[in-house]
Amino acid sequence: MNFNIIRKIGLPLFSALLCLGAALSFSSCDAVNDDLDPCPQGVRLRFIYDYNMEFANAFPSQVKDLTVLFYDEAGDYVCTREVDDPILADENYRMVVDLKPGKYSIIAYGGLYSSEASFSFVTPPASTKYRDIQVRMNSDELTSPKGQDLYPLFYGTIDVTIDEKDMNYREYTVPMMKDTNNLRIILQQIDGDPLDYKDFEFRITDNNTLFAYNNDIIPTTPVTYFPWAEGNASPGEMPEGGISQVCWAELSFSRLVTANRPMLIVTRRSDNLRIIEIPLENYLLLLRS
């Protein structure tokens, strides 16, 4: 049998000292009067996610929780801020954090704070140097015999500087990217004969479950992703008459990188014939406009 494939991807994967977040910002300070509070110093962070198909800021609608780590110039842990929905859904939300003068590296993750998270820190950030931060896929997603709809994971980083002469919070924007993907595969028989998803096995193989501090993939053990949803559907009446039935499968998986070789494989169960076996990353790059 001959098959057509339609591809579609949505992109666009302990104890901790919490930073003191200022509730108010001030436009100026009077340094002459010693009885006044010291000038506010730190950062006022805006988070955006426009690294997507629409190139529009989807952060308020897609990121449901936020974990932000602060490290000093020496790479030592300073503090953590954690925020969850609904405050993040406000386009005007800004994270205000008091920091002493100095240089800092900030790493932000969306999707680690939730109880539904599919990823977690390998070592608690409070006991980790900046360059030793690692995030990995949770074991239940790795060992499940059925595919999982991964809880979305977002990543962003920025370096900031706080000057002793600063009279207010410095404004910074943290760009976020999505590290999880969704792929829907549709199989259709060219001659119009109906297909049933139960007759096929869909899967993606890759080695992309462990992230470094800079969001690079650290090779570990290869993993196989199976569909989290499957089914049959009809696109309607065919030009030559009759109604065709197609089958589809939807898979959720971690970040794709060109250094790896993720494979999309579709096998016919009746004779174990691989009817599709393609390098997924290469094909998706061909679809990029």
Contacts of 124-129 spanning 24+ positions with Cβ under 8 A? 124/14, 124/16, 125/16, 125/69, 125/77, 125/80, 126/14, 126/15, 126/16, 126/17, 126/77, 126/80, 127/14, 127/77, 128/77, 129/71, 129/75, 129/76, 129/77
List the structure tokens of 236.
């309607």
Residue pLDDT tens, the chain, 289 long: 433 444 333 333 333 333 344 333 333 333 333 454 567 899 999 999 997 766 789 999 999 999 999 999 999 999 999 999 899 999 999 999 999 999 999 999 999 999 999 999 999 999 999 999 999 999 888 877 788 899 999 999 999 999 998 889 999 999 999 999 999 999 998 877 899 999 999 999 999 999 999 999 999 999 999 999 999 999 877 666 666 899 999 999 999 998 899 999 999 999 999 999 999 999 998 987 7
Which pLDDT score, from 0 to 100, does residue 193 have?
86
Burial of 245 (C-beta count, 10 Å sphere; 0-12/13-18/19+)? middle
**Do you find a cis peptide bond into 235, omega within 30 degrees of 0?**
no
**Cβ–Cβ under 8 Å, residues 42 and 169:** yes
Which pLDDT score, from 0 to 100, does residue 255 have?
96
**CA dihedral of 168, 47, 138, 70, whole degrees rounded to 10:** -20
Q: Please list the residues that pair with 11 across neighbouring strands.
A: none
Given strand 180-189, what is the order of strands in its sheet? 3-10, 180-189, 243-254, 229-237
Cα–Cα separations (whole angstroms), residue 240 to 154, 234, 251, 269: 46, 15, 32, 29
pTM, to two decimals: 0.84
Tokens 């992309």 belong to which residue? 208
Closest CA to 91 of 149, 50, 132, 41: 50
H helical segments located in 138-200: 139-143
Polymer length in residues for the chain: 289
**Cβ–Cβ under 8 Å, residues 105 and 128:** no
Residue 19, by phi and psi: left (phi above 0), alpha (psi -120 to 50) or beta?
Answer: beta
